[in-house]
Amino acid sequence: MLTIQTILCPTDLSEASVRSVPLATHFARLHGADLHLLHVHLLHAGSPAEGDVPFPGEEEARAALEESAGGIPWSQVVHRIERGINAAPTIIDYADANDVDLIAIGSHGRRGFRRLMLGSVTAEVVRYARRPVLVVRHEDDAAPPSDVDRLIVPVDFSPATDAALAVAGELAATFDVPIELLHAIEPIPYVQMAYPISVDDGEFRLHAQRRLDDMAAGLDAARDVSTTIAVSTAEQAVTDAAYRTASPLVVMASHGHSGLARVLLGSTTERLLRNAPCPVLVVPAGEREEER
């Protein structure tokens, strides 16, 4: 069961990071949750000359936090400044200490190599947080999202999908929005070789459709649930689905990899976080391998 009583919205006060505040406020208003606005004051912060990295003192940071949230009662907003040498562990420790139910965080959406690696505070929080993380990417030419009109749930039929479906079902009831279950049949690389193998995806589609129908039937029958099968990569299928509505939210599960796969976050989850044109809610897929 998804219970949202406390939402953590960490921000470094940059334009990119505060983009998560309107949507976090929307979640807080609908759930009657407290909203914790957190700024980590890094003890070894760089020079203001390093570009778009803000360089506020603690008093300036506190004043900026107090101006950033609106739309919910003042009594539900908590402003905190924490000191640390690394932002991501400080955010995760704060979430654990305050029993936070949801972390809403902005992503800088960087280009080139840094975007390829997603080597940011956001990526580290997604890897290690023990609660759902709502990632809102920075887009220069778009206003920050402030509501949700459709939930898109990528489905790969792994056990991790169940966690995302459970959360999506409850969010759909809260937001009163439809759900789209989306499965991507990724093109088989062999057909691009010199000696292509003829592959009929009809049987794949039939099998996938049966499983999607079963999943849809398991959700509340009164809720608007649709299913889509796309022959493309998962990230392309999600991108196409997202552009079909004004304010979509992707709800997907992390697979909880360990070791090198977890360090690099080299998965469908990371690719979607890099490329999805809308917010993505990443749901932990259960216990981590290290905890088994």
DSSP per residue, 176-235? T--EEEEEE-PPPGGGGSSSPPP--THHHHHHHHHHHHHHHHHS-TTS-EEEEEESS-HH
What is the CATH classification number for the domain harbouring 162? Answer: 3.40.50.620
Number of Cβ atoms within 10 Å of the Cβ of 174: 14
Residues 184 and 88 in one domain: no
Residues 120 and 180 in one domain: no
- Using the predicted structure, report yes or no on whether residue 196 has a pLDDT greater than 60: no
Count of the separate structural domains present in the chain: 2
- Please report the pLDDT score of residue 4 as a whole number: 94
End residue of a domain, out of 137, 162, 187: 137
Query: What are 32's strand-pairing partners?
Result: none
Average pLDDT (179-206) is 72
Q: Name the pTM for this structure.
A: 0.82
- Please report the pLDDT score of residue 172 as a whole number: 92
Most confidently predicted of 105-119, 244-258, 269-283: 269-283
Which of the pair, 260 or 234, is modelled with greater confidence?
A: 234
Range(s) of the domain holding residue 178: 150-277+285-291
Mean predicted lDDT score pLDDT of the chain: 79
- Please report the pLDDT score of residue 109 as a whole number: 47
Which of the pair, 195 or 80, is modelled with greater confidence?
A: 80
